[in-house]
Every structure is written in structure tokens, then in C-alpha cells.
Amino acid sequence: MSNEINLLYSKKQGGSVAIKARILMLRYIALGLLFIIGVISVIVFILILASPLPELKKQESALLTSLSTSHSKIVKQVLITSRLQDISKIVAARPDVDDQIVDLRKKIPLGVEIKSLRVDTKQMMVTISAASLLGVESFTQELTKMGNSDKTVRGVSIDSVEFTPGELYEVAYTITYL
Amino acid sequence: MENSSAKSLRLLYYRYKDTQWFSLSIAVFILLIIALLIGRVVFPQVQNWLSIQNEVASTRQRLEILRSNEQQVQLMNDAVLNTQLQTVTSALPVEKDFTGVLGSVAVAGAKAGVSFDDYTFQVGPLSTKAAALTQDPSIELSFIIRGSLESIILFLKEISEKVPLSQVVSVDYTETGANISLLFFYKVIPERIPISYTEPMKQIQGNNATLLQTLGRWKEDSLYTGIEIPATESAQPFN
């Protein structure tokens, strides 16, 4: 039987106490984390319950019902806007043939007449008749100027020059557009 | 009477309850529960909450559009809409509008002071199904008009300001008159008109409003007042 009472831990016992203290700490930390997780879970649950989504959905449904009563008006509006889009594309894309001819006529000097004219979307073929070469030259110069300055014109060419027995010059030009 | 496994568990509990291993196993068990809760409860809940938040934001956005659309619809006048629809439909008919085409040509011719010699239609397929498949369906009308170059230019200007909308394909002018080919556009109404109440409705404003006004003027100007085009046998596409 031992008669001594050792109040100090032996080395072995001291290590065991330290481990026990660490394990206890780990248990507290684990419990604390469990509590925090529980609180977070409850908060998120309350947040989900308090969401305004059901009320918003009700409002959306009511508005959709209200709009569906005016469906015919909406269809008309959609048709009008869609047709207006198509129309604006057509109007923007169509060539102003009348303006092209008017522009050409402005270039015709005195004594020169248009004998024939063919216009399509790609080119304009014009045949003029003139009593003198001066008129022809003046018109050719005007067309050359137009070919150089007008960005829509790709090129201007003379197709033929004829002198008829009635002492008239007939010159055929082709203006090609871009 | 307790069964043997419960007995052995109890024995194990009394044997290890004061040891460090027992404390450690409890801590590990709690940590495992935490991991399980995070993975199975908290994470899905948070995900659910986030998706609800996203849905709330998108619903609010849709509501704004719906409210704006409703306000717009309430301001719409059915009679005005009908007039506007008639205007755009007369400019871009839903089918081959031969009466409208002949009417606009006749009115433009009368205003320009030209006379018509002969005209032909290239009718093409009559079914709207075929037209619906075409990008820009149109009718081609060719005719000969008698008149000076000035009156032909005037005619071309007049026809460009008439409805149904047309485009000049070619003008072949000689001193006796001109052979003119025009394309008259139309567009079939699609079987399904895509309408979504939750998309902002396009308003008729700006350029569109100006275009609509112009079309209204052209429509008034294209009213057929009994001017007749002398018809020849070749110009009877329906007989």
C-alpha cells in the first residue's frame, strides 16, 4: 500500500489531461457550430417564408388577366408596328427613279434631246440626239462630273456614237449604279 | 429481456464513457451532423432562397413591363387602331390587292396626265401559303403609257406616293411613250402572331408616327374615284 500522496501529475498523466482538455474544447466548438448552423437554418427558413414572391405572382396574374381582355387591341398594335417596320424597309430600299431621271434631265444642254431612256435598278441607258458636237461634249462632261462626284454611280460609259443622214448626232451612254 | 447487442453496447458505454475516446467520438459525431446539416439542409435552403430572390427580381421587372403595357393599352383607342391598321394594310396589303394596284396606277396616271395603252400582270401563285414563304412577296405590273418625258417623270413620282407601295423595276422610254414595270408589295399575315404581354409593347412614335402620317396622306391620295384604265384582252388575269 502506498503511503504517499502525489499532488502533481506525472508526465504521462499531464499529457492525458491536456488531450482531454483539447477534446473538451473540440466538443464545445462542435456544439457551438451546431447551434450556429441551426440558427442560420431558421433565419433562412424565415426569410423564405417572408418572401414577397407569392404576392408578386398574384399581381402578375391579375395584370395578365387584365391584359388578356384587351388582346385584340394588342394584336392590332403589334400588326401595325410590324407592318410599319416592313414598310420603312421597303421605302428606304426602293430607288428614286423619278429623281434619277430629273437629275439627268438637268444635265441636258440646249439643243440636245433624250431620244430613248432605259432605267432599271442597276443602270440607266440614255440615248441623246444633238445637232452639234458641242451639245454632245457638254453633256458628256456633265456625265463625267457626275461619275466622279456621285457616290452612287459606279461608272459612266459611251456605248455608241452615230451620225444620221438628218445631220444629227446620236450618242448612247450607260450609267451604272452601285 | 434485453438482447445481446444492446447488452454489449451498454457494456461498451460503461467501459469507455470516461475515456478520451468517448469524448472524441462525440465531438466527431457532432461534426458529422454539422456537415450533414450543411450539405442536406442549409445549402439547399440558401440555394432556394437565392433562386427565390432572383425570381422576385425578374417578377418585379415583368410587373413593371405589364403595368406599362396595361397603361398603354388603356390609352389605346380601338377606332384609331382600326384606322391605323387600315392605313398600313392598304400600303402593304395582306394579299394580292389587284383593285388597289389598278386604282393607284389609274389615279397616278390621271394626275400625271398620261394615257395607258396596254398592261399586263404577272400574277404568280395565288395561295397565301406560297406567299408566306417568300421573303418579300410582290406582284409585277407592266404597262405602256403615252406621254412626254415630263409626264412620265410625274407619273413615277405620283405612283411612288400611292398605296399599295410600289417599286420601279424598269422604265423604257422612247419618244412615243414608256414601258414601265412596277412591283407592288404585299405581305401575308403570319398564322401565329408572336405576342407576349411580358415584353414591352412597341409604341408608334418618332419615325414610325411620321411614316404612318405619310401613309395616311398617300392613302387619301390614292382613293380611286372612278378613273378607268382601258383594258385589253391580255389585261384580264381573272377571266
Task: Give yes or no: residues B4 and B97 share one domain.
Answer: no
Q: Do B107 and B157 belong to one domain?
A: yes
**What pLDDT does A14 receive?**
62
Same domain, B222 and B186: yes
**Are B42 and A41 a contacting pair at CB < 8 A?**
yes
Q: Is B46 on the interface with A (CB under 8 A)?
A: yes
Place of cell 491536456: A18
Question: What are the extents of the domains in chain A?
Answer: 52-91, 98-177
Query: How far B129 CA lies from chain A's nearest CA (Å)?
Result: 18
Reported as a pLDDT band with limits 50, 70 and 90, residue A16 is confident
B196 is a domain residue: no
Record: contact B153-A26, CB cut-off 8 A = no
Q: Where a domain ends, among B18, B40, B75?
A: B75
Identify the domain boundary among B75, B106, B126.
B75
Task: Tell whether B164 and B89 lie within a shared domain.
Answer: yes
Contact: B73, A74; criterion CB under 8 Å: yes
B71 with B106, same domain: the answer is no
Alpha helices in chain A (DSSP H): 11-49, 53-68, 71-93, 97-106, 133-149
* B3 and B49 fall within a common domain: yes
Mutate to test the interface with B, among A49, A79, A88 (most CBs of B within 10 A): A79
Does residue B179 sit in helix, strand or coil? strand
Name A108's bridge partners.
none
Same domain, B106 and B211: yes
Model pLDDT, residue B224 = 64
Per-residue model confidence (pLDDT) at position B234: 40
B85 and B145 part of one domain = yes
pTM: 0.76
pLDDT at B233: 41
Query: Does residue B57 belong to any structural domain of this protein?
Result: yes
B165 in contact with chain A, both atoms CB, cutoff 8 A: yes
Q: Which residue has the higher pLDDT, B22 or A160?
A: A160
End-to-end CA distance of chain A: 121
Q: Over range B52-57, report the average pLDDT.
A: 96
Q: Is B166 left (phi over 0), alpha (psi -120 to 50) or beta?
A: beta
CB B55 within 8 A of CB A53: yes
Angle, helices B20-37 vs A11-49, to 10°: value is 20
* Confidence (pLDDT) at A21: 84
* Interface ipTM: 0.77
Does B100 share its domain with B171?
yes
A122: closest CA of chain B, how far (Å) = 10
Interchain contact, A67 vs B69, CB within 8 Å: yes
Q: Do B56 and A51 touch (CB under 8 A)?
A: yes
Contacts (Cβ under 8 Å, ≥6 apart) of A43: none
C-alpha cell at B223: 382613293
B91 in the same domain as B176: yes
Helix (H, G, I), strand (E, B) or coil at B76: coil
Question: Is residue B27 situated within a structural domain?
Answer: yes
B195 lies in some domain:
no
Q: How sure is the predictor about B172, in pLDDT bands with cuts at 50, 70 and 90? A: very high
CATH topology of domain A98-177: Gyrase A; domain 2 (3.30.1360)
CB contact under 8 A, B189 and A23: no
pLDDT value, residue B62: 95
* Chain B residues with beta carbon closer than 8 angstroms to that of A76: 81-82, 84-85
Residue B31: list chain A partners with CB under 8 A: 30, 33
Minimum mean pLDDT range among A7-11, B9-13, B24-28: A7-11
pLDDT in tens, A57-109: 999 999 999 999 999 999 999 999 999 999 999 999 998 899 999 999 999 99
Amino acid in position B15: R
Range of the domain at B222: 81-190+202-238
Q: What is the 3-state secondary structure (H, E, C) of chain B?
A: CCCHHHHHHHHHHHHHCCCHHHHHHHHHHHHHHHHHHHHHHHHHHHHHHHHHHHHHHHHHHHHHHHHHHHHHHHHCCHHHHHHHHHHHHHHCCCCCCHHHHHHHHHHHHHHHCCEEEEEEEECCCCCHHHHHHCCCCEEEEEEEEECCHHHHHHHHHHHHCCCCCEEEEEEEEECCEEEEEEEEECCCCCCCCCCCCCCCCCCCCCHHHHHHHHHHHHHHHCCCCCCCCCCCHHHCCCC
Are B142 and B230 contained in the same domain? Answer: yes
Domain count, chain B: 2
B139 in contact with A at a CB cutoff of 8 Å?
no
- For residue B5, pLDDT over 80 is answered with yes
Of residues B45, B91, B92, nearest to A41 (C-beta): B45
Measured CA to CA, the distance from residue B200 to residue B132 in angstroms comes to 26
Q: Per the CB < 8 Å rule, is A116 touching B76?
A: no
Cβ contact A76:B202 at 8 Å: no
Q: Mutation test of the interface with chain B: which of A19, A56, A177, choosing the one with the most B Cβ atoms within 10 A?
A: A56
Contact: A78, B195; criterion CB under 8 Å: yes
B160 touches chain A (CB under 8 A): yes
Contact A128, A115 (CB under 8 A): yes
- Looking at the fold, whether B132 and B158 belong to one and the same domain comes out as yes
pLDDT band at A114 (very low <50, low <70, confident <90, very high): very high
Torsion (CA) B135, B136, B138, B144 in degrees, nearest 10: -130
Mean pLDDT of chain B: 85
Rounded to a whole number of angstroms, the distance from the CA of B108 to the nearest CA of chain A is 13
Q: Which residues pair with B142 in a beta bridge?
A: B120, B181
Residue A44 has its nearest CB partner, among B45, B149, B193, at: B45
